[in-house]
């Protein structure tokens, strides 16, 4: 299975940004963690990150013909990007929403995910392990959406 891990705005700043929420591990640490999962689960994983909404949408569209599934941490776009919601709905491969922190226990605006209903599942608050659970969900679902 070919999986795309797509990270949105400010994820490149973990380890620096709000360590009391996201911890001290860096984005490079996250990439290395995900690469280790690739071998453990016998999957191929590409990791991409952008701070720009349009680029995330373009990558999702491109991913439709390239990957079997997507693990998406849309960052703050989770809470207001109907364009990402539409992009997820426009592709034929399953998308799993993940978040490092528990968005239901944060600021009021973060408690709402406008992309959740377009995804096959949502995994929150498990730190880096959210990505592993996302891989497991994609493997359980196979390539059906």
Give the tokens for residue 43.
Answer: 């999957």
List, for residues 49-105, the tens digit of each pLDDT value. 999 999 999 999 999 999 999 999 999 999 999 999 999 999 999 999 999 999 888
Enclosing domain of residue 23: 2-141
Q: Examine the residue annotation and report whether 22 is marked as an active-site residue of this protein.
A: yes
Instruction: Provide the domain count of the chain.
Output: 1
CATH of residue 19's domain is: 3.40.50.9100
* From 22, 27, 67, 85, the catalytic residue: 22
List, for residues 95-140, the tens digit of each pLDDT value. 999 999 998 888 888 889 999 999 999 999 999 999 999 999 999 9
* From 27, 67, 99, 131, the catalytic residue: 99
């Amino acid at each position: 299975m070919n999986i795309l891990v797509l990270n949105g705005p400010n994820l490149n700043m973990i380890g620096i940004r709000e360590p009391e929420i996201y911890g001290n591990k860096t984005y490079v640490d996250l990439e290395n963690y995900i690469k280790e999962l690739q071998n453990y689960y016998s999957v191929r994983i590409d990791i991409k990150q952008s701070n720009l909404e349009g680029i995330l949408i373009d990558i999702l569209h491109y991913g439709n013909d390239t990957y079997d599934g997507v693990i998406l941490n849309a960052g703050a776009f989770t809470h207001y990007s109907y364009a990402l919601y539409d992009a997820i709905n426009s592709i034929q491969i399953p998308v799993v929403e993940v978040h490092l922190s528990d968005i239901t226990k944060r600021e009021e605006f973060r408690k709402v995910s406008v992309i959740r209903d377009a995804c096959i599942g949502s995994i929150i608050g498990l730190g880096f392990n959210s990505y592993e659970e996302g891989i497991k969900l994609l493997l359980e679902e196979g390539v059906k959406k």
